């Protein structure tokens, strides 16, 4: 048993003994309690350090650390290859977003040029290497700026007046996106120093994309849609900080960065990520609210109202920015719907959701042609 374990045991025994005679030893009991809490804090700190020693590998040869540093330094430089990848990835992602093609967008995700300097940024921040950190930050910043400008130009030249779901969905990030970024970023950083999982890096690049949100920022600017650009910017920052944080943790676990060096960088990234958690949480709450709303609308159409059983629901859109919030339904119906029927459905939804919504139903013209 170590000296710290003995100290904790003695403090517990002292507190228990004094608690039996608390009225006579009130002041002494308070002192013993303070002593106990200090001993407990030291004990917990020791156990955490022991756990970290078990989890963290410290068997990194200086040559391996030097080789990793050189590789990350090389990957973080802005050269012709990096710029070509930025242009190609941005162009593919922008065309895929405009054509609403998920397959094309995935092709841009696989290229993932920004993932390389982000790993260098994470390693430089955790190791306290100012030169590597500045080099990687410049590469990330330049690549991001080029992507936004190029996507803005493509958006202006395309002449497309409205955007589809692949663009709109990237303007509403939430806590789920942060979770994806953290897990995928950890695999990216860990895979850099663990050859066994290196082949999975393409999958992580697909799961947490950096280029599509940047392209959505540019496309939003092309339409002067500030809400779209701000939402995509929040998604980009979420992915950037999530990847950086988890890469730093991955390098730390593998023993490439010591605790006293990694702690400050991780704390700063944790703080900035914590700031992002506030809007991401609000967005997640909104997502849950919309899911409940759509479920109640489908239930109303399928089973709980007689009027709308013969009406086919095609699309549901919600606008929570208006006051009161609007629900816009696109339906197919052979019969004409009256304002009274719409009002009854609106009352039913408001009762289920315990909120006040304005319901608008759109019925495109349906014409049957038979032989």
Q: What is the DSSP letter of 337?
A: P
Q: What is the pTM of this model?
A: 0.71
DSSP tag of 2? -
Q: Is-contact 349 359, C-beta < 8 A?
A: yes
Beta strands in the chain (DSSP E): 312-319, 326-332, 358-362
| Tokens standing for residue 324 | 């009161």
pLDDT at 143: 93
Backbone angles phi, psi at 327, to 5 degrees: -115, 120
User: b/e for 204-237, b at 16 or more Cβ within 10 A?
Assistant: bbbebbbbbbbbbbbbbbbbebeebbebbbbbbb
pLDDT at 25: 47
Instruction: Tell the burial category of 327 from Cβ atoms under 10 Å away from its Cβ (0-12, 13-18, 19+).
Output: buried
Q: How far is CA 150 from CA 39, 102, 167, in A?
A: 59, 20, 16
Residues 94, 155 contacting (CB under 8 angstroms): yes
CA distance 192 to 211: 21
Q: Are 329 and 361 in contact (CB under 8 A)?
A: yes
Three-state secondary-structure class, residue 315: strand
Tens of pLDDT, residues 39-52: 666 666 665 565 55
Q: Give backbone dihedrals phi and psi of 192, rounded to 5 degrees, phi first.
A: -65, -30
Cα angle 80-82-88, degrees, rounded to a multiple of 5: 100
Domains of the chain: 3-55 (no CATH), 62-278 (1.20.1080), 305-362 (no CATH)
Give me the residues of the chain with pLDDT under 50, please: 4, 18, 20, 22-26, 29
For residues 136 and 36, what is the distance between their CA atoms, to the nearest angstrom? Answer: 47
SS3 assignment, position 325: coil
pLDDT digits (tens, 9 = 90+) for 268-303: 888 888 888 888 888 888 888 778 877 777 776 666
Which pLDDT does position 151 carry in this prediction? 93
End-to-end Cα spacing for the chain? 93
Can you tell me the distance from the alpha carbon of 330 to that of 224, in angstroms, rounded to the nearest whole number? 27
What pLDDT sits at residue 214?
92
């Amino acid at each position: 048993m170590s000296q710290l374990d003995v100290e904790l045991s003695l403090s517990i025994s002292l507190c228990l003994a004094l608690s039996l005679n608390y009225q006579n030893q009130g002041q002494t009991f308070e002192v013993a309690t303070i002593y106990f809490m200090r001993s407990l804090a030291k004990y917990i700190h020791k156990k955490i350090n022991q756990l970290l020693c078990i989890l963290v590998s410290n068997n990194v040869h200086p040559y391996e650390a030097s080789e990793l540093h050189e590789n990350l330094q090389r990957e973080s430089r802005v050269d012709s290859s990096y710029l070509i990848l930025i242009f190609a990835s941005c162009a593919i992602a922008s065309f895929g977003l405009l054509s609403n093609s998920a397959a094309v967008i995935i092709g841009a995700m696989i290229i993932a040029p920004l993932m390389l300097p982000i790993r260098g940024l994470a390693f430089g921040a955790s190791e306290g290497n100012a030169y590597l950190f500045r080099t990687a930050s410049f590469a990330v910043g330049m690549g991001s700026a080029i992507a936004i400008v190029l996507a803005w130009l493509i958006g202006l030249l395309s002449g497309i007046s409205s955007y589809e779901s692949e663009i709109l969905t990237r303007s509403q990030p939430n806590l789920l996106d942060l979770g994806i970024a953290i897990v995928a970023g950890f695999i990216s950083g860990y895979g850099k120093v663990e050859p066994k999982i290196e082949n999975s890096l393409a999958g992580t690049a697909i799961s947490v994309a950096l280029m599509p949100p940047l392209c959505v920022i540019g496309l939003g600017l092309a339409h002067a849609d500030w809400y779209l650009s701000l939402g995509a910017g929040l998604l980009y920052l979420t992915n950037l900080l999530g990847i950086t944080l988890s890469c730093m943790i991955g390098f730390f676990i593998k023993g490439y960065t010591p605790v006293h060096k990694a702690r400050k960088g991780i704390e700063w990234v944790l703080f900035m990520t914590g700031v992002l958690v506030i809007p991401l949480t609000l967005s997640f709450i909104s997502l849950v609210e919309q899911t409940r709303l759509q479920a109640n609308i489908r239930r109303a159409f399928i089973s709980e109202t007689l009027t709308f059983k013969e009406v086919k629901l095609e699309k549901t859109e919600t606008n929570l920015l208006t006051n009161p919030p609007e629900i816009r339904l696109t339906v197919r119906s052979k019969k004409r719907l009256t304002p009274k029927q719409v009002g009854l459905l609106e009352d039913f939804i408001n009762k289920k959701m315990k909120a006040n919504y304005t319901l608008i139903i759109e019925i495109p013209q349906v014409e049957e042609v038979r032989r």
